[in-house]
Homo-oligomer: A and B are copies of this chain.
Amino acid sequence: MAELDISDQLREAGLRVTRQRLAVVRVLREHPHATADAVAERVRALGVTISTQAVYDVLAALESAGLIRRIEPAGSPGIFEARVHDNHHHMVCRRCGLIVDVSCVVGEAACLTPSESHGFAVDEAEVTFWGLCPACQRIAASERGEPR
């Protein structure tokens, strides 16, 4: 079922259905933010053989078909996610790199409109919120010698 509509989506995008592609999409649906490396590991854990190069090929193909999205917060390798076309943004922990999705409700319209366009044809506004996740806030507090 899930498997079936992945196949369909691939075919609709003009892509051949292969074991590797099915597995990659499956992995990304189960693990919403994964590096190429993590995808490779998890695909192999499903019993599907895949080369490093194929991981990159598959991810690139899926990305340009619009089935997945690639983000790359500063200092981090590329991260892939299956949630797509819903204009959500990301919150990234400066300390541990944790990434959390944020649906852009408040700022949506405003954020999508740069105040000066300089002749650019803008097609996307990407918002990244930087900060500390709850766990790293606690660690940072205790490193400063604060109780608890």
On A, residues with C-beta under 8 Å from B are 70-72, 74-75, 78, 89, 91, 93, 100, 102-107, 110-111, 113-134, 137
Contact = CB atoms under 8 A, between A and B. Distances in A.
11 contacts: A71-B74, A72-B74, A91-B117, A91-B118, A93-B120, A102-B116, A103-B115, A111-B111, A119-B133, A119-B134, A127-B128
Contact of A120 (B74, B100, B116): B100
B137 A91 contact: no
Contacts of A120: 91, 93, 100, 129, 131-134
Contacts of A118: 91, 100, 102, 133-134
Given A72-B75, A100-B118, 6 more contacts: A102-B115, A103-B115, A103-B116, A120-B131, A121-B137, A126-B127
A87 to B, nearest CB: 12
B127 A131 contact: no
Counting every copy of the chain, the complex holds 2
A129 B114 contact: yes
A125 B127 contact: yes
Contact of A107 (B110, B123, B131): B110
B123 A115 contact: no
Nearest to A75: B72
